[in-house]
Amino acid sequence: MPTNPRHSRTTIHPSEVAFRRWYPAIAVLATGYLTWLFIYHVDQLSIPLWRIPVIMISFAWLVITIVAAHFNRPTRGRIPQLPVAVLIPSRNEDVAMLWEMFRSLDRQSVLPTVVLFIENGDSNGEAEGVFKAWSKATHIKHVHFMRRPEKGKRSAQVVGVDWLREKYPNLQVLCTVDGDTRLDDVAIAEALKAFNDPNVTSVAGLLVGQNYRANLLTRIVNLGFVSSFMNGRAAWSTFNSVAVNCGGLAFYRMWVVLKHLDEYGTQQLFGKEVNSGDDRMLTAFSALEGDTVFQHTSVGYTLLPVNLSHLTRQRGRWWRSFWWGGIWGLRRFNPNQAIWWLLLSQYVTFVLYAVMFPLVLLVDPIVNSKIPWVFFVYIAGLSYLRSARTLMVKRPDQSTANQVVEYLLLSPWVTLANLWLCTVLQWWGLFTFWKTGWMTRDKVEVGIQTEAAR
Q: Which of 41-55, 84-98, 203-217, 354-368 has the lowest mean pLDDT?
A: 41-55
Assess contact for 150 and 121: CB atoms under 8 A. yes
Burial status of residue 335 (CB atoms within 10 A of its CB: 0-12, 13-18, 19 or more): exposed
For 107, 118, 151, 249, 286, the CA distances from 204, given in Å and listed in that order, are 20, 22, 25, 7, 11
Q: Which of 3-12, 71-80, 311-320, 337-346 has the lowest mean pLDDT?
A: 3-12
Q: What are the structural domains of the chain?
A: 21-440 (3.90.550.10)
Assess contact for 426 and 236: CB atoms under 8 A. no
Burial status of residue 51 (CB atoms within 10 A of its CB: 0-12, 13-18, 19 or more): middle
CA gap 331, 36 in Å, rounded: 39
Higher pLDDT residue, 13 or 341?
A: 341
CA gap 425, 438 in Å, rounded: 15
pLDDT tens sequence across 228-258 = 999 999 999 999 999 999 999 999 999 999 9
pLDDT tens sequence across 65-115 = 888 998 898 999 999 999 999 999 988 888 999 999 999 999 999 999 999
pLDDT tens sequence across 130-161 = 999 999 999 999 999 999 877 788 989 999 99
pLDDT tens sequence across 404-434 = 999 999 999 998 898 888 888 988 988 887 7
For 10, 23, 235, the CA distances from 229, given in Å and listed in that order, are 24, 17, 9
Classify residue 233 by its DSSP letter: I
CA gap 34, 202 in Å, rounded: 32
Assess contact for 229 and 300: CB atoms under 8 A. no
Residue 323 pLDDT greater than 50, yes or no: yes
Q: Which amino acid is it at 129?
A: G
| Confidence (pLDDT) at 373 | 73
Residue 337's SS3 state is: coil
pLDDT tens sequence across 153-195 = 898 999 999 999 999 999 999 999 999 999 999 999 999 999 9
Axis-axis angle for helices 278-289, 153-167 (nearest 10): 50
CA gap 392, 381 in Å, rounded: 19
